[in-house]
Structure 1
Amino acid sequence: MTGVLEQRTVTTEPVAGILSRVIGRSPELRVEAFDGSSSGPSGAPVTVKVRSPRALARLVSAPGSLGLARAYVTEEIDVDGDLYTGLRAMAEVTLHSIPRKEQLWLARRLLPYWREHRMPPPDLEARPRGLLHSKRRDSQAIAHHYDVSNRFYEFVLGPSMTYTCAAYPDADATLEQAQANKYALVADKLDLKPGMRLLDVGCGWGGMVRHAAAEHGVRALGVTLSREQAAWAQAEIERQGLGSLAEVRHLDYRDVPDGVYDAVSSIGLTEHIGKAHLGSYFRSMLAKLRPGGRMLNHCITQPYRPDHRHTDPFIHRYVFPDGELEPVGTIVTAMNQAGFEIRHEENLREHYALTLRDWGANLERNWTDAVAEVGLGRARVWRLYMAASRLGFEMNNIQLHQVLGVKLHADGSSGFPLRGPHGAY
């Protein structure tokens, strides 16, 4: 954002010094404020610009990552230079917010700004209503993030229209190669063969459904709570001539019709289910599988869960309302207690950092068109969330795990080979 910085309207300490104490001092970071104050080296690659006293009022009402995010989304704080580099320079605040003691210190010093400039939160924040993880509320939460604009997602995700972690075969692979490799990896773990039936829950824009049908001759049904995803996916299925094998429906996973499937893939759904519902979710998936059928669960997890850890409020309000991340041990335990035998597990967190890097590059390359499609505020939400999430995966603040389970035969046999491809099983 360009333009003249707003003049100071209240008397207080230099703003740049206050903010620098909160976000940390780094040789890569400079702070400049509307009151003329500055902090940090003049040659820093990234400059945080506090353009309005309203930014400080937001930091009083939400003195942590949420307040900073609100100010960024509304352009009251801007960043000159690469946003990811800036967030990495203030990694402690980016990943863990501001400590409670510092929040109180900050609120005391910025209280005059709040008294003069307080305002409601931006209207981009999600506020789903109803019982947590009820069908109605889950539908609202999914619509907030996924029913934005298919065209916008095309700008960000690229031709694959895949909004889940890719699997990079090597460091030089493109995003499209990595997404195709991810689907091949899932298909390999599920041992997909022609004529099998696959259920893909939380199918997004149908990437796994189309891969299973086109590459393996599998009859695949995908379900998603997003109307826009379902419409786009079904149209793409027809365009590719896969209608005799593949289908995507706008449907809650709890309403999937009964049937016997050979395999279930769940790629990026568990985060939306909630810990209290994991048991019933995995039991319902087990009931839909034939003996010997496999389930691959792919989801974001926490590496640990101290009592004070909660979903980041920025992510909760702007990106994934009602999302819940659990440690991988919780996922494995829930699958096991539902009746699955766990056969394989792996962490792909470095791959998700690379995926977010490439999504972020897509967004910047298509920035003008993306802003025209969804507005500047929403585009800035995405820019911020992808850069911060990339950092989170790199620094092991969040992880991405694939867990493979099987429904055993009555005699306890699994149908697995003694060793799978590359010794994976």
Structure 2
Amino acid sequence: MTSTTRETRTTRETRTIADLVDEVVVGPLPVRITAYDGSKTGPDSAQRTLHIGTPRAVSYLATAPGDLGMARAYTTGDLVVEGVHPGNPYDALVDLEELHFRRPDPRLVVDLAKVLGLRGLTPPPPPPQEALPRWRRVTEGLRHSFTRDREAIAHHYDVSNRFYEHVLGPTMTYTCAVFPDRDAGLDAAQENKYRLVFDKLALRPGDRLLDIGCGWGGMVRYAARRGVHALGVTLSKEQAAWAQAAIEREGVADLATVRHEDYRNVPETGFDAISSIGITEHIGVRNYPAYFRWMLAHVKEGGLVLNHCITRPDNRPRSTGAFIDRYIFPDGELTGSGRIITTMQDNGFEVLHEENLREHYALTLAGWSENLVESWSACVDEVGEATAKVWGLYLAGCRRGFERNVVQLHQVLAARLDDARLPRVPLRPWWAS
């Protein structure tokens, strides 16, 4: 603690919130912190201020240290971040990367009890936007069962189609775009992503494509506009309804269909190609072998599959962090591209090509954040301020994760060999990058 950071002198009997913050923080604070009791700490020159507005905020932070407690306090409005737009708190998250904590002295619990009362040491009820913890989801079925997967997808994707229209823009595409250059716009980059997947799969008019986890049908409609018979399946009822209406509007109903259906229930086989864009994150690493065997059984000999998903920079499977699991993707699980490639190979595919699009996802998330800020009032009207704030926090945090190589995005192209043990493709990559 320095003289420039303390504006309220206290004794142990009258500890302030600023005292408690200083006790657990190592090194200089990267932000200014103010509290409801009038105490302050941190540099006067800081560009951003965290205001701890209520005793409940302290309870959230104390009973769930880390990103979960901060998310709870921020979502409820008990913790206010001054100096950033709530639709894009990216700069504040960058600041907080420099925040480091020490193990608190046991006496801190006594001090907290004096400040909050004993009830304040009991976790307050979480915001309604928060899903149950993993251990309590057993009532929804085993992890990655049909029922539990359906519930997890609905938690995130059935928020509001209108809300997603504001955030995602006219392409209604909620996966990593592919930017031809850093100055390209988000919508053009999303169209370029579909072009890249279409070309990698060597699709031609008359071919049959299955898109697993098709979202709002962007890939399905892109392929149908080019003469391909495309079927998309999604576990989100809201997505399926929106996608089917878009298919009708665009006049491609003779070629495209989106169904509200688990991919495991798709009866059709013999597809020329299968695309899996942003769905593997929901499958579960232990289920990868069954997932890729299912693909192998449903694509024709000589056919191609493309798996596009978020990955880790290493190959150790890990569940997502507490904030992402409770607020964004319940039951989400990530591993590295090496694990995905190995599993595809071990289950009958020949892997032809892979590439990492990590920086493209950071740019994509920045674009979604801009859309959220620009349409903030409409988004709040649609889903409420708390949910909109969750999304601002989520998009900004994920962007930072991709920038720092905490997570990556890989596309893996593979073939089911025919009897001649040859993929039916040219010797060298045939698509434009």
**Which TM-score applies when normalising by structure 2?**
0.89
The aligned residue for residue 94 of structure 2 is: 88
SS in 1 for 2:103: helix
Task: String of CA shifts for 1:235-278, please: whole Å, max 9, x gaps.
Answer: 00000001011010000011111321000000000000101111
Q: CA deviation at 1:111?
A: 4.6
Question: Using the alignment, how far apart are the partners of 2:303 and 2:117 within structure 1?
Answer: 58
Q: CA deviation at 1:24?
A: 6.5
Q: CA deviation at 1:418?
A: 1.6
2:159 aligned to 129, 148, 161, which one?
148
The aligned residue for residue 123 of structure 1 is: 128
1:195 and 2:206 equivalent? yes
Question: Using the alignment, how far apart are the partners of 2:178 and 2:23 within structure 1?
Answer: 39
Q: One-letter code of the match for 1:202?
A: G
The aligned residue for residue 132 of structure 1 is: 143
Question: Using the alignment, how far apart are the partners of 2:110 and 2:220 within structure 1?
Answer: 54
Is the alpha carbon distance of 1:314 and 1:196 closer, same or farther for their aligned partners in structure 2, counting shifts above 3 Å? same
Q: CA deviation at 1:126?
A: 1.4
Q: CA deviation at 1:416?
A: 2.2
1:248 aligned to 258, 273, 288, which one?
258
The aligned residue for residue 357 of structure 1 is: 366
The aligned residue for residue 410 of structure 1 is: 419
Question: Using the alignment, how far apart are the partners of 1:295 and 1:108 within structure 2?
Answer: 59
| Of 126-135 and 334-343, the range deviating more from structure 2 | 126-135
8 Å Cα contact 1:28/1:86 also seen in 2? no
Q: One-letter code of the match for 1:155?
A: H
Q: CA deviation at 1:226?
A: 0.1
1:284 and 2:284 equivalent? no
SS in 2 for 1:35: coil
Identity %: 54
Q: One-letter code of the match for 1:165?
A: C
Question: Using the alignment, how far apart are the partners of 2:432 and 2:381 within structure 1?
Answer: 49
2:429 aligned to 412, 420, 424, which one?
420
Question: Using the alignment, how far apart are the partners of 2:117 and 2:44 within structure 1?
Answer: 30
8 Å Cα contact 2:30/2:98 also seen in 1? no
8 Å Cα contact 2:275/2:306 also seen in 1? yes
8 Å Cα contact 2:221/2:247 also seen in 1? yes
Task: String of CA shifts for 1:195-215, please: whole Å, max 9, x gaps.
Answer: 00000000000000000111x
1:271 and 2:277 equivalent? no
The aligned residue for residue 71 of structure 2 is: 69
Q: One-letter code of the match for 2:131?
A: A
Give the root-mean-square deviation of aligned CA atoms. 2.3
Q: CA deviation at 1:101?
A: 3.5
Question: Using the alignment, how far apart are the partners of 1:62 and 1:370 within structure 2?
Answer: 28
2:222 aligned to 208, 211, 219, which one?
211
The aligned residue for residue 17 of structure 2 is: 15
The aligned residue for residue 381 of structure 1 is: 390
1:58 and 2:67 equivalent? no
Is the alpha carbon distance of 1:31 and 1:248 closer, same or farther for their aligned partners in structure 2, counting shifts above 3 Å? same
Is the alpha carbon distance of 1:217 and 1:410 closer, same or farther for their aligned partners in structure 2, counting shifts above 3 Å? same
Q: One-letter code of the match for 1:259?
A: T
8 Å Cα contact 2:186/2:364 also seen in 1? yes
Q: One-letter code of the match for 2:93?
A: L
8 Å Cα contact 1:59/1:107 also seen in 2? no
Q: One-letter code of the match for 2:163?
A: F
Question: Using the alignment, how far apart are the partners of 1:19 and 1:303 within structure 2?
Answer: 33
8 Å Cα contact 1:24/1:90 also seen in 2? no
SS in 1 for 2:334: coil
Question: Using the alignment, how far apart are the partners of 1:20 and 1:170 within structure 2?
Answer: 45
Give the gaps of 5 or more residues in structure 2: 1-11
1:25-36 superposed matches below 5 A: 29-36=31-38
The aligned residue for residue 343 of structure 2 is: 334
8 Å Cα contact 1:63/1:106 also seen in 2? no
8 Å Cα contact 1:58/1:114 also seen in 2? no
Q: CA deviation at 1:91?
A: 2.0
Is the alpha carbon distance of 1:130 and 1:100 closer, same or farther for their aligned partners in structure 2, counting shifts above 3 Å? farther
Q: CA deviation at 1:63?
A: 1.4
SS in 1 for 2:333: coil
1:48 and 2:50 equivalent? yes
Question: Using the alignment, how far apart are the partners of 1:417 and 1:78 within structure 2?
Answer: 57
Is the alpha carbon distance of 1:225 and 1:100 closer, same or farther for their aligned partners in structure 2, counting shifts above 3 Å? farther
Q: CA deviation at 1:19?
A: 3.5
8 Å Cα contact 1:204/1:230 also seen in 2? yes
8 Å Cα contact 2:356/2:410 also seen in 1? yes
SS in 1 for 2:118: helix
SS in 2 for 1:101: coil
8 Å Cα contact 1:145/1:320 also seen in 2? yes
8 Å Cα contact 2:296/2:348 also seen in 1? yes
Question: Using the alignment, how far apart are the partners of 1:150 and 1:72 within structure 2?
Answer: 25
1:139-178 superposed matches below 5 A: 139-178=150-189
Is the alpha carbon distance of 1:24 and 1:179 closer, same or farther for their aligned partners in structure 2, counting shifts above 3 Å? farther
Question: Using the alignment, how far apart are the partners of 2:105 and 2:357 within structure 1?
Answer: 34
Q: CA deviation at 1:39?
A: 2.3
Task: String of CA shifts for 1:340-361, please: whole Å, max 9, x gaps.
Answer: 1011111111111111111011
Give the gaps of 5 or more residues in structure 1: 1-9
Q: One-letter code of the match for 1:142?
A: I
| Of 108-117 and 375-384, the range deviating more from structure 2 | 108-117
Q: CA deviation at 1:92?
A: 6.1
The aligned residue for residue 5 of structure 1 is: none
**Which TM-score applies when normalising by structure 1?**
0.91
The aligned residue for residue 238 of structure 2 is: 228
| Of 284-293 and 29-38, the range deviating more from structure 2 | 29-38
8 Å Cα contact 1:234/1:248 also seen in 2? yes
8 Å Cα contact 1:264/1:289 also seen in 2? yes
The aligned residue for residue 6 of structure 1 is: none
Larger radius of gyration: 2
Question: Using the alignment, how far apart are the partners of 1:227 and 1:325 within structure 2?
Answer: 25
SS in 2 for 1:408: coil
Question: Using the alignment, how far apart are the partners of 2:106 and 2:369 within structure 1?
Answer: 34
